Amino acid sequence: MTPFVSKSPRLAYLNCRDLDLGITHNGKLSYFEGKVYEIKYLKKENFSRLVKIKTKVDPENFFRDEQSISVHQSG
């Protein structure tokens, strides 16, 4: 795991939002705002798969917060 550990780690707290990663506003542009995570947090192919799953499971985006995976809005 050594190659994957940050050289300057920061503290992490359970249920603490790291807003340095970015936020989404859970509106019509949430999908596009959330794409920032592909680069900073998830791999592109993982982000696309997670959006598809989230859209099927929670189409109304009931389970959301600033950093949750967004649903893909149609139209």
* pLDDT given at position 15: 64
Looking at the chain, the whole-number percentage of residues with pLDDT higher than 70 is: 53
Q: Are 34 and 71 in contact (CB under 8 A)?
A: no
Cα 29 to Cα 3, 21, 48, distances in angstroms: 35, 17, 16
Q: pTM here?
A: 0.59
Tell me the average pLDDT across 50-71: 85
Structure confidence at residue 74 as a pLDDT band (50, 70, 90): low
Tell me the average pLDDT across 2-27: 65
* pLDDT given at position 53: 93
Average pLDDT, rounded, for the chain:
73
- Residue 51 CB-density burial (10 A; 0-12 exposed, 13-18 middle, 19+ buried): middle
